[in-house]
């Protein structure tokens, strides 16, 4: 399984830690940047990772910035992305079970190993949640 990952300057250190865990767990990681602690703009990385998810170049995406909020907002502008900003393992579990989130967004001070492990091992429940995901997709298709 291929995981795309990106961060801004504030998320760089945690991104590097996340990459180490993902590789240790046997995932192929595609790192979309940033590679520098120099200030940069997070929407670029949200786009790169989200676009790779939508195109099928990676199976899932992980984004890290100061709060995770900006990355989530930016990534969710891409049709087909369901990015969830999570603060703990419970959020990570529910966003996969109910929202079938395909991008995990985290703050630069998150418990990255527990959150990623939970998110990557939790399955989408389907059922009524699939109906709701389809409703969200319909909103995407009809808004401009």
Catalytic residue annotation: 65, 98
Name the DSSP letter for residue 135. Answer: H
The residue assigned the tokens 């990255």 is: 112
The residue assigned the tokens 């709701």 is: 132
Residues in the chain: 144
Mapped onto helix, strand or coil, the DSSP state of residue 75 is helix
* 102 strand-pairing partners: none
């Amino acid at each position: 399984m291929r995981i795309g990952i990106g961060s801004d300057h504030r998320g760089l250190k945690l991104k590097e830690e996340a990459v180490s865990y993902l590789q240790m767990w046997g995932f192929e990681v595609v790192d979309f940047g940033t590679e520098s602690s120099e200030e940069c703009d997070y929407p670029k990385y949200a786009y790169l990772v989200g676009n790779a998810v939508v195109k099928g170049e990676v199976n899932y995406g992980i984004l890290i910035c100061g709060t995770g909020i900006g990355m989530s907002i930016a990534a969710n502008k891409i049709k087909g992305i369901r990015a969830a900003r999570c603060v703990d393992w419970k959020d990570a579990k529910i966003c996969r079970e109910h929202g079938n989130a395909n991008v995990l967004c985290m703050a630069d001070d998150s418990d990255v190993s527990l959150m990623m492990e939970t998110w990557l091992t939790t399955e989408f429940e389907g059922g009524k949640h699939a109906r709701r995901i389809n409703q969200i997709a319909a909103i995407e298709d009809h808004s401009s």
